[in-house]
Amino acid sequence: MAGTEFYGAEEKKEINDVLETGIFFRFNHDAQRNNIWKAREFESEVAKLVGAKYAHAVSSGSTAVSCALAAAGVGAGDEVIVPPFTYIATVEAVIFAGALPVFAEIDETLCLSAAGIKKAITPKTKAIVLVHMCGQMAQMDEIMAVVKEHDLTLVEDAGQAMAASYKGVSTGLFGKTGCYSFDFFKIATAGEGGVMVTNDETAYKLADNYSDHGHDHQGNNRGMENHPVLGFNYRISELHAAIGLAQTRRVPMIRENNNRIKTQMMSELGKIPGVTFATIPDPNGDSATFLNMFLPNTEAAKRVVEEFNKNGVAGFNYWFTNMYHFINQWNHIKEGKVAAKTNVQLLGAPQDYMNLDIPKTQETIGRLISFGIKASWKQEELEELISKMSMSITTALGQTA
């Protein structure tokens, strides 16, 4: 929850700018808004931070994924490779785009692997939605080689990895389109919000249209605008954008603090036999919002979780049993429980979702425990946490501290 740790005068100033105009809508009303355009400023700040040519702010990270898919031309009947470890919004967006999810293996980066993607490719595969999980990044050189070899469309969900990069390129900018989340729990928050990014002008214009009922945003009479494509309402408000603007300016500081804290945690906890960490393909590009720790096996991880709970260690996620981030608990998707029929029911699922062959993923997530890093931790707080974690882990693994 890094962004919310530092909420203060800057956010209040940006919100008050909007309140003084009374214009909460992000488009039009030029005369009344006194040149206050928070959504535009927010987009510009995100684009500057990550190095994108274009950024388009919307109402959530989930709708940013939907816009990224539509702007990349991914839709009805397309087979799309997705990870079984992600916040479920990624898969929901694919389904509600009319596409068909194909689950592939991850590796110890916690992201889709090149080998997993290659194994999942069929003649019907149109795209990959690559999710950069837990503040880190995927093995981009290997994955881009597969994308180019098979002429696939790459869409990146970097909802959990804004401000991460690989060899100087920000997550979200390797594919046709990418996106970030600005919900309450991210490195920067807008309360609710998301941003789609791209270096492709056509994709940007499509996202701009698609996210606002197809409006082309030309001229000063909204009721007389043209609609070059069909769209829906994914707009962000000026109030949410105002918060996101101030928060985005804080990200370099948060990232620096995160990395300092994560380095210390890895140094100390890495001394415990049996403890390793998720692979970070480019450590210099880590946003470090999570410490991602591996135990020797699933049973050991479960014992550690028990000890953490017993000793009052908080702020961690054991994703293996998490209801929203791991496929083992997604019975509604696997069993086709929907409010209204989707293309998965109409065309048939491309895989047997009830019996997926993903042993690497099961093994990886089974022994993974992730700690959310608080950039505002004081040194004494950090040392106390590390001490409690070390005691819990050594007890669970049957070692003496």
Q: Give the integer Cα–Cα distance in Å for 93 and 156.
A: 12
How many domains does the chain fold into? 2
Are 225 and 293 contained in the same domain? no
Q: Any bridge partners for residue 295, and if so which?
A: none
Are 276 and 242 contained in the same domain? no
SS (H, E, C) 305-319: HHHHHHCCCCCEECH
Are 63 and 167 contained in the same domain? yes
CA dist list (Å): 246 to 46, 318, 387? 11, 32, 35
Are 76 and 205 in contact, with CB atoms under 8 Å apart? no
Mean pLDDT over residues 337-357, rounded? 97
For residue 353, being part of any structural domain is answered with no
Are 104 and 145 contained in the same domain? yes
Residue 3: the pLDDT is 77
CATH number of domain containing 385: 3.90.1150.10
Mean pLDDT over residues 332-358, rounded? 97
For residue 261, being part of any structural domain is answered with yes
Are 193 and 39 in contact, with CB atoms under 8 Å apart? no
Q: Give the integer Cα–Cα distance in Å for 159 and 195.
A: 9
Domain hosting 168: range is 2-250
What confidence tier does 1 reach under pLDDT thresholds 50, 70, 90? low
What's the predicted TM-score (pTM) here? Answer: 0.97
Are 177 and 155 in contact, with CB atoms under 8 Å apart? yes
Give, in degrees to the nearest 5, the angle at Cα 153 between 96 and 167: 115
What confidence tier does 4 reach under pLDDT thresholds 50, 70, 90? confident
Question: pLDDT for 200-255, tens place per residue?
Answer: 999 999 999 999 999 999 998 999 999 999 999 999 999 999 999 999 999 999 99
Tokens linked to 292 = 């991602």
**Is 16's pLDDT higher than 60?**
yes
208, 228, 250 - which closes a domain: 250
DSSP annotation of 321: G
Tokens linked to 246 = 């101030």
Question: pLDDT for 301-330, tens place per residue?
Answer: 999 999 999 999 999 999 999 999 999 999
CATH number of domain containing 224: 3.40.640.10
Q: Give the integer Cα–Cα distance in Å for 361 and 105.
A: 6
Residue 305: the pLDDT is 98
Mean pLDDT over residues 85-98, rounded? 98
What confidence tier does 80 reach under pLDDT thresholds 50, 70, 90? very high
**Is 395's pLDDT higher than 50?**
yes
Are 196 and 178 in contact, with CB atoms under 8 Å apart? yes
**Bigger pLDDT: 321 or 7?**
321
What's the sign of the alpha-carbon dihedral 319, 115, 295, 354?
positive
Q: Give the integer Cα–Cα distance in Å for 178 and 156.
A: 4
CA dist list (Å): 173 to 165, 246, 319? 9, 23, 27
The strand pair at 153-157 and 177-181 is best described as parallel
Shortest CA distance to 326 belongs to which of 281, 367, 285? 367
Looking at the chain, the whole-number percentage of residues with pLDDT higher than 90 is: 98
What's the sign of the alpha-carbon dihedral 333, 338, 343, 349?
positive
For residue 342, being part of any structural domain is answered with no
Residue 401: the pLDDT is 45
Are 138 and 176 contained in the same domain? yes
208, 229, 250 - which closes a domain: 250
What confidence tier does 355 reach under pLDDT thresholds 50, 70, 90? very high
Mean pLDDT over residues 67-90, rounded? 98
